[in-house]
Amino acid sequence: MDEALVKAAELFAGYHCELAPLKSGRNNRVFRFGSDGQYVLKVFFKHQTDTRDRYRSETEFLTMMNSARSKSVPALLRLLPELNAEIAGYIDGFKVEQENLTENDVLTAADFLLEMNSEKHNRAPLGNASEACFSIKDHFAAVAGRVERFRNMSPKTSVEKEAAEILAWTTDSLEKLKNEYAMEHDETADRIISPSDFGYHNAIRTNEGSTVFIDFEYAGWDDPAKTVSDFFLQPDSAPDFRFRKLFMEKTSYLVNNKNDFEIRCDILTKLYARKWIFIMLNEFSADDLLRRNFADHQETAQRQEQQLAKTARYIEKYKAINIL
DSSP 213-249: E---TT-EEE-HHHHHHHHTT-TTTPPPGGGHHHHHH
Q: What is the C-alpha to C-alpha distance for residues 84 and 62, in angstroms, rounded to an integer?
A: 15
Q: In what order do the strands lie in the sheet with 76-80?
A: 20-21, 28-33, 39-44, 85-89, 76-80
Cβ–Cβ contacts within 10 Å for residue 259, how many? Answer: 10
Q: What is the pLDDT of residues 264-295, one digit of tens each?
A: 999 999 999 999 999 999 989 866 655 555 55
Predicted local confidence at residue 296, as pLDDT: 55
Predicted local confidence at residue 48, as pLDDT: 73
Predicted local confidence at residue 152, as pLDDT: 80
- Looking at domain 3-90, its CATH superfamily turns out to be Phosphorylase Kinase; domain 1 (3.30.200.20)
Residues 6+ apart with CB under 8 A from 316: none
Predicted local confidence at residue 188, as pLDDT: 76
Q: What is the pLDDT of residues 122-140, one digit of tens each?
A: 666 899 999 999 999 999 9
Query: Are 278 and 146 a contacting pair, CB within 8 Å?
Result: yes
Predicted local confidence at residue 25, as pLDDT: 63
What CA–CA distances, in Å, run from 283 to 106, 227, 307? 30, 24, 7
φ/ψ bin of 45: left (φ > 0), alpha (ψ from -120 to 50), beta (otherwise): beta
pTM over 0.75: yes
Predicted local confidence at residue 149, as pLDDT: 87
Report the candidate in 187, 189, 166, 169 with the shortest Cα–Cα distance to residue 177. Answer: 169
What CA–CA distances, in Å, run from 26 to 39, 66, 134, 234, 244? 20, 25, 27, 15, 27
Residues 6+ apart with CB under 8 A from 34: 13, 17, 90
Query: Are 219 and 126 a contacting pair, CB within 8 Å?
Result: yes
CATH architecture for residues 94-319: Alpha-Beta Complex (3.90)
Q: What is the C-alpha to C-alpha distance for residues 78 and 88, in angstroms, rounded to an integer?
A: 7
CATH 3.90.1200.10 residue ranges for the chain: 94-319
CATH 3.30.200.20 residue ranges for the chain: 3-90
How confident is the prediction along the chain (324 residues), in pLDDT tens digits per residue?
A: 589 999 999 999 999 999 999 976 667 899 999 999 999 999 998 877 777 899 999 999 999 999 999 999 999 999 999 999 999 999 999 999 999 999 999 999 999 999 999 876 666 689 999 999 999 999 999 999 999 888 888 888 899 999 999 999 999 999 999 988 866 667 777 899 999 999 999 999 999 999 999 999 999 999 999 999 999 999 999 999 999 999 999 999 999 999 999 999 999 999 999 999 999 999 898 666 555 555 554 577 888 999 999 999 999 999 999 999
Outline where 52-157 has alpha helix (H).
Answer: 54-67, 103-116, 136-148
Predicted local confidence at residue 302, as pLDDT: 86
